[in-house]
Amino acid sequence: MPPSRSARPATTPAALSAAAARDAEDAADLDDAHESSESGDAGEEKLRSGIQSIEVGFRLLEVLTNEPRAMMLRDLAQRAGMSPAKAHRYLVSFMRLGMVAQDALSGRYELGGFALQLGLARLARVDGVKLARIALAELRDALDITVGIAVWGNQGPTVVHWMESSHPAKASLKLGDVMPMLSSATGLLFAAYLPRSKTGPMIERELGSAQHYSSGSTPRTAEELERALAEVREHGAARVEGMLLPTIHAFCTPVFDATGDLALGLIALGHEGAFDIAWNGAVDRALRACAQKLSYELGYSPVER
C-alpha cells in the first residue's frame, strides 16, 4: 500500500482572496508598527486612542488639499512621508469612497467628489461670528484687553459683539454702532478689503466733511486715504493711535471666507500706555493668530487652488 499522506484542506478562490486581503492588511499594520518604532514614541502610542491607520492615510488627503494641482503617486507619497506602495493601498480605498479621484490619462491623483461634498457641508454649517466670539473670549482672558467683532452692514462696518477687559477702555461703543470709515481701524480695514462699490458712498461722505476732524492723522483727501489703505494691505491689518478717541489705540484684523472675501474684522483696543500698539507686538500677534485660525475654519486658503 502506498504511504498515507496527511489530509490538507481544499483551497478555494474565495479563501485565496480572503488570505490575500489579510496579508495586505497585515502588511499595512506592519508598516504602521514600523513607523511607530522608528519615531521612538512607543510609550505615547500606547496611550493614544484612535485608529492610527486613519491618521496615516489622512496625510495623503492633507497633501492633496494643500497642493493646487493633481499629483503623481511618487510625489504624493514622498510629500506624505510614506512609500509609493503603501500610499497606493490607501489611495485605492480613498477612491472607492470618493475622497480621491485619479485621472485616467495621466494617472495623477486629486481630491474626489465626496471631498467637495464634505467641504460644502462644513461651510453650510459654520457660523463665523459664533466661532469668533468663542475665540475672542479666550484672547480677551489671555491678554486682558477689550475685543470685538465687526461685519459689513447696510450702513457700513457694524459692531456685532463686544467684550470688555477688566479695565474697560471707556470707548463709548455699543452693539450696533457703525464705525467711521476714515478715523477708525475697523473702517480702514473694510475700506482696504471691500470693493469700492460698497464703501464708496460712505468714504465720499466722510471725505467731504474731513475738515471737521480734529485728528491730524485722519485721511483728509483721496490721496491720503489711498496711502493709508495701502499701509493696511501691506501690514495685513489696520491700526490707529488715538484717531477716533484720544488716548485710545486699536487694531482691526481681517477674517476671510472661502471665496477670499472679507467676512468680518476682529477688533482689539485699549488705553495708551496699557495697550501694546506695536506691529508684531503681543496684541498684534495674538489677533493675527486668531484671525488666521478663523479664516481657516471658514474655508479660506492663502494659496490659490
Give the pLDDT confidence of 229-250 residue by residue, as tens digits. 999 999 999 999 876 666 789 9
Q: Which residue has the higher pLDDT, 218 or 212?
A: 218
Is residue 302 assigned to a domain? no
Same domain, 260 and 141: yes
Amino acid 33: pLDDT: 43
Is residue 289 assigned to a domain? yes
The reported pTM is 0.64
Amino acid 197: pLDDT: 92
φ, ψ for residue 20 (rounded to 5)?
Answer: -65, -40
Is residue 282 assigned to a domain? yes
- Is residue 107 pLDDT above 80, yes or no? yes
Yes or no: say if 157 and 202 are a contact pair by the CB < 8 Å rule. no
Yes or no: say if 176 and 233 are a contact pair by the CB < 8 Å rule. no
Same domain, 169 and 292: yes
Same domain, 116 and 207: no
Nearest to 116 by CA among 60, 61, 54, 56: 61
Domain encompassing residue 60: 17-123
Torsion of CA 215, 218, 221, 226, to 10 degrees: 160
What's the rounded mean pLDDT across residues 72-94? Answer: 94
Is residue 12 assigned to a domain? no
Same domain, 98 and 199: no
**Secondary structure string (H, E, C) spanning 127-183:** CHHHHHHHHHHHHHHHHCCEEEEEEEECCEEEEEEEECCCCCCCCCCCCCCECCCCC
Count of the separate structural domains present in the chain: 2
**Least trusted range by pLDDT, from 58-72, 104-118, 156-170:** 156-170
Identify residue 1 by its one-letter amino acid code.
Answer: M
Single residue among 75, 105, 123 that ends a domain in this structure:
123
